[in-house]
Structure formats: C-alpha cells, structure tokens
C-alpha cells in the first residue's frame, strides 16, 4: 500500500522505488562531485522568513502571469529530458497535469513523446525548449514544428554547449530503452509497474529526433549525435537568428552570471531563466538561488526573470519570488511525482507546492503573491563572490 503523501520528499522516495535505477539516477543526480546539485537545495535553507501575526489572511491569491501567460501560481514545469522514461508517455501525462493545474508546461527537445504527440493530448499551449545545434536545418525544422503545434514560447537553452560529466549515467550505462544486461534485467524485474506501463506504449525512443535525424534511434547513437551537434561556438548572434526564425516569445535558459544576464536582456528576449542546469553542467558553480539577487539587480525590469534549481517546497518558491524572480520552473519535483504515480503524481506534486506556498504567504502576512518581495525575508542567502563585486 502506498504511504500517505505529504511532501515532495515522499514522492521522491516512492519514485526511487518504482523507476529503474538508471532513469531515476539520470533525473536525480549532478555532474562530477555533485556539489552544485546539492547547493541548489541547501542554499534555500539559509534564507529565513519573517512570520507576521494579527494580519488579515483572507481572500488570498497566487494568480500571476508568466511571460504573458496566465498562471494559477508563479510556477511552470521545466524541460526534462527523457521524461517518458520516468513513466510511460511521461511528457503527455505531465503536460496534461500542468494544464489541469493551470501552469505552463515546457517540452524538452530530448523528450520521448514528440511535439506533435503532446500537442494532440493537451488542450493548453505549451512551451518548447531547444538547443543551439550545428545542424541549423534540424533546428529550423524543430522551430517550425513547434510553431505548427501552437507552442506559445520558445525556451533556448544556452548552457549546454558541451556536456558536463555525470558519473552515475556512465556507471549505469544509461540507454533508452535499457540495454538487456544482467544488472539491468534484475533491476527491471523489481519494477513491474514501470515495465507493464512501458510495454503498452510505442513512445520509447526520442520523438523529436527519431525519424527526423538519420541514424538516431537509441541512447548510444543519440550520445554521439549530440556530442557532434551541440555547438561550442554559440554566440549572442545565434540568439538573434532564433528570434528571427521563431517570431514569438523567447526565453533564454541557463543564465548564472550578471554579465550574461545583461547581455541576455539586450537581445530583446521576453525572459531569462537563472539556472545551472540542475547542477548537471559546471560543478562548483553557485546555486541558482544565490546567483539570483545579483542578476535581478543588473537587469531590473528590462526582462522577466525566472529561475530553477533546488525547489522542493512552497517555502522555496516564495523565497525565490521575494528575491526578485517573477516565477520558478519545477524539474525534479515534477519528475518525482511522475515517476511515483504518473499524471496523478504530477497533480499531487503541484497541489502540495500550491498549498505550501499559499500557507507560507499567509503566515508571512500577505494575501497576494504579487505583493511578495524582500520584506518577508529575515535574512538573505550567502552571495557568490562575483555577485558582491
């Protein structure tokens, strides 16, 4: 019997039991020593909130807008690669749950369900995430497909010119579907629910790539393809090229430095996402939440500032908003819910965070999320050296 779910950690533990090791570790790990991965969550703890009493706590509202889209709370679902390996048809299920919850969903280029699959199964426009690749024709076709599917924003990831080394993926021999080694077969035998669901879906490859790039059908071929395709020569000129092709709302993901934030604001993009790729790229980089204040100081109101990384509670969300983020993107919290309970688990995760955010806002003496600012903080997080200069 499933234990009572009271917090995101409960979903994480359940997902760890139900998802094959290589896919659980893919989502819940960082690069090299994982110091930045751990800091993303740990640094929220240093931020303390001001409890207020004898204030009116009635008629509260979490409603806001994110990049021009109405949202029931300042939350969007982040792009997560291979979400369909956490649970069969994972991207479709997560998109449907996000639509029901009234928050934006972002589909990764490296998804198992294609752009067209998700569009057919969701009644709400979603965001599409893309990388700068050497094959400009492939990128152009992806953008055109996202347009045709009615995607409402393009999220351009800038921090993946080369891949950070993730030790767990190497040790697990990450592949999709899993290679039939003895270790994998034994692990899969302990995950009957996952195997049953996966056997019933045809979406076990890379829906945005298979059939659109010659020779890419499994994780091995994808690895060699991505190693050759992610463009180490990426420059700000490439952003302009994507803007010209997309002709819609553009969000730049992977900003961690104030100088880069200033450059991003000058592009005319609608928003930036303060992010260190969940601690999966440069190990030793600052946490997203510690980098946020200096970036907000630099860009001001010239561009909408979102952030991701380390958010596991409604308290974390309100701390990010208080430090200047307009909204946050949820990656692992959603992944845990999906791996634990499918679409229902994503809804549970979003409901947990909504209730925690609402209660925390009230106990801080406010009734509208739009009024949240640094007044609710009793202390600020430690700042990285570059942010103090």
Q: Is 308 annotated as a binding residue?
A: yes
Q: Is 288 annotated as a binding residue?
A: no
Give the three-state DSSP class for 52: coil
**Phi and psi angles of residue 336, each rounded to the nearest 5 degrees, phi first:** -60, -45
Q: Is 80 annotated as a binding residue?
A: yes
Q: What token pair was written down for 260?
A: 């880069």
Q: Is 26 annotated as a binding residue?
A: yes
Q: Identify whether 2 is preceded by a cis peptide bond (ω within 30 of 0).
A: no
**H/E stretch holding 8:** helix 8-18
Q: Is 173 annotated as a binding residue?
A: no
SS3 of the chain: helix, strand, coil, percent, to 5: 45, 15, 40
167 assigned to active site: no
Q: Is 277 annotated as a binding residue?
A: yes
Q: Is 131 annotated as a binding residue?
A: yes
| Nearby residues of 361 by Cβ (< 8 Å), 6 or more positions away | 60, 62, 318, 367, 369, 372
Q: Is 166 annotated as a binding residue?
A: yes
Out of 69, 87, 167, 277, pick the active-site residue. 277
Give the three-state DSSP class for 351: helix
Q: Is 235 annotated as a binding residue?
A: no
Q: Is 108 annotated as a binding residue?
A: yes
312 and 9 in contact (C-beta within 8 Å)?
Answer: yes
The annotated binding site is made up of: 26, 79-81, 108, 129, 131, 157, 166, 253, 275, 277, 280, 308-312, 331-332
- Catalytically annotated residues: 277
The annotated binding site for FMN is made up of: 79-81, 108, 129, 157, 253, 275, 308-312, 331-332
The annotated binding site for glyoxylate is made up of: 26, 131, 166, 277, 280
């Amino acid at each position: 019997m499933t234990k009572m779910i009271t917090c995101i950690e409960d979903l994480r533990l359940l997902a760890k039991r139900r998802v094959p090791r290589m896919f659980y570790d893919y989502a819940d790990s960082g690069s090299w020593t994982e110091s930045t991965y751990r800091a993303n969550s740990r640094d929220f703890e240093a931020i303390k909130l001001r409890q207020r009493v004898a204030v009116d706590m009635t008629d509260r509202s979490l409603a806001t807008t994110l990049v021009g889209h109405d949202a029931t709370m300042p939350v969007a679902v982040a792009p997560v690669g291979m979400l369909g390996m956490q649970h069969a048809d994972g991207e479709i299920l997560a998109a449907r749950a996000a639509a029901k919850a009234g928050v934006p969903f972002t589909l990764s280029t490296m998804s198992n369900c294609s752009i067209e699959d998700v569009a057919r199964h969701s009644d709400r426009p979603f965001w599409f995430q893309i990388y700068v690749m050497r094959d400009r024709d492939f990128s152009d076709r992806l953008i055109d497909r996202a347009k045709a599917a009615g995607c409402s924003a393009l999220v351009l990831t800038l921090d993946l010119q080369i891949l950070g080394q993730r030790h767990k993926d190497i040790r697990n021999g990450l592949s999709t579907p899993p290679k039939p080694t003895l270790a994998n077969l034994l692990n899969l035998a302990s995950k009957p629910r996952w195997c049953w669901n996966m056997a019933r879906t045809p979406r076990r490859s890379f829906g945005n790539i298979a059939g659109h790039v010659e020779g890419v059908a499994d994780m091995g071929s994808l690895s060699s393809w991505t190693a050759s395709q992610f463009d180490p020569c990426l420059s700000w000129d490439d952003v302009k090229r994507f803007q010209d092709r997309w002709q819609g709302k553009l969000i730049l993901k992977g900003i961690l430095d104030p100088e880069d934030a200033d450059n991003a604001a000058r592009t005319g993009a609608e928003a930036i996402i303060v992010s260190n790729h969940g601690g999966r790229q440069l190990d030793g980089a600052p946490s997203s939440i510690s980098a946020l204040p200096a970036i907000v100081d630099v860009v001001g109101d010239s561009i909408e500032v979102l952030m991701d990384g380390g958010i596991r509670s409604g308290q974390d969300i309100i701390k990010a908003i208080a430090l200047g983020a307009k909204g946050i993107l949820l990656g692992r919290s959603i992944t845990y819910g999906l791996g634990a309970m499918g679409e229902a688990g994503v809804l549970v995760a979003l409901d947990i965070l909504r209730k925690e955010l609402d209660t925390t806002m009230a106990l801080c003496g406010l009734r509208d999320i739009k009024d949240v600012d640094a007044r609710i903080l009793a202390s600020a997080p430690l700042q990285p050296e570059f942010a103090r200069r």
